Chains A and B, each alone.
Chain A
Amino acid sequence: MKRDAQNFLTVIGSNKGIIYKVANSYCKDEENRKDLIQEIIIQLWLSFDKYDETYKLSTWMYRIALNVSISFYRKEHRRNEINQPLPDGILYLHEEHTGELNTEIDQLHQFIKELKEIDRAVILLYLEGNNQQEIAEILGLTMTNVSTKVSRIKQQLKEKFLTLKK
């Protein structure tokens, strides 16, 4: 895809949810999450002209967002401190609405964050409505493996909710 800034902004704008949800699943702290979102957008921009159109745009975005979230963010230094200052707050939630997110959703988020990194990616992609083939393509697994993993992780989540109710 042509590395055109306007085109890139349109892509980011229409898929901002992917970036936010992935970042939110891997980063609890709000300040760090801002950095992570910034880093994902940088990596998306740097890879934008290499986007292979044989894959869905969402596959490409999930791969980058997940790869950055799982690994790059283990850096102990913030990019701002070691490189050049970058714009803050690229994605944000409307202040007055953030409190509306109910307890059950918060609990689901908490349970997801307790999963191992790759399991977290599997369930996130499943909840996002991706089919097994798409999940397999994004993660680099077989469909059988995806199916086994999804049912196992779902079971874990159910048990966690069940323990909570007791």
Chain B
Amino acid sequence: MEDIEIINLWKSYDKKLEENLMLNKRNAEDITKMKVKSFLTSMTPLKVFTILIGILWIGFVDILMINLWSVASPFFLISAAILVLLNKLSIFIYLYQLILIHQVDISDPILATQEKLANLRSSTLWIARLLFLQLPVWTTFYLSETMFENGHIVFYIVQGILTFTFAYLAFWLFFNITYENRGKKWFRLIFNGKEWSPVMRSMELLSQIDEYRMENITANKNANL
């Protein structure tokens, strides 16, 4: 089929639509009377709520650390410090998402808007990576020097295996939760839920946008030569 045939085919479809497509004015008018929010704006309250809960949680652990600084075991203090640091990073990601939500204008050019939206969704994967990175500290915060001084060999072995396994798993997941691994079985097992499919598709879209950007750069270079 030639170009002109494809165009004519589209034109015939267009003509049929022109003749048969009807607008239900009453239903369209109803929308203008409703207090509807855009999907992006409706995402804001949940993000703000999560940030507030996060700040409260971080504040609580920070206060605990400050008050127990002289009496708490170094294991607790280090574990809590790591936990707080990772949670602070997660809050920064949520703040970044809020900024992106604020910046997105749905009437902007497609590539720029889609890039912001895809970045917004795919940054959720970073939150998952940071959450997994917290795993080992939950196996160390309760330890104390006396436990080691009076501990039994079985305790050392069990504790060692537990902490090592969690740390290995946490780092492994942190470095391997990437878009490139999306097809792997373990990945699909973790990100199985419906809520993750928009994130995955956004990352796929980001790679399409990258292709376009690269071609744009090449086209510009060629034009300047």
Chain A residues with a Cβ under 8 A of chain B? 5, 8-9, 12-13, 16-17, 20-21, 38-39, 41-43, 45-47, 50-52, 60, 63-64, 66-68, 70-72, 74-76, 79, 83-84, 86-94, 97-98, 100-101, 104-105, 108, 116-119, 121, 127-128, 137-142, 144-145, 148-149, 154, 157-158, 161-162
Contact = CB atoms under 8 A, between A and B. Distances in A.
A117 B28 contact: no
Contacts of A67: 106-108, 110, 113-114, 117
Interface of B: 1-3, 6-7, 9-10, 12-14, 16-34, 36-39, 42, 105-114, 117-118, 121, 194-195, 197-198, 201-202, 205, 208-209, 212, 215-216, 219-220, 222-223
26 contacts: A20-B17, A43-B38, A43-B106, A46-B36, A63-B109, A68-B106, A74-B202, A83-B36, A84-B36, A89-B24, A89-B27, A90-B31, A91-B21, A91-B24, A93-B20, A94-B20, A97-B19, A105-B12, A108-B13, A118-B114, A121-B110, A127-B10, A140-B111, A144-B223, A145-B215, A154-B6
Given A17-B21, A142-B219, A161-B1, A74 B108 contact: no
B34 A93 contact: no
Contacts of A12: 23, 28
A47 B117 CA distance: 17
Given A76-B197, A83-B42, A92-B22, 14 more contacts: A16-B23, A38-B31, A45-B32, A64-B106, A71-B202, A71-B205, A84-B36, A90-B28, A92-B21, A118-B111, A118-B209, A140-B112, A142-B219, A144-B220
A144 B25 contact: no
Contacts of A74: 121, 197-198, 201-202
- The 6 tightest CB contacts between A and B, nearest first, are A140-B109, A87-B27, A161-B1, A144-B219, A5-B32, A74-B198
B177 to A, nearest CB: 20
Nearest to B115: A140
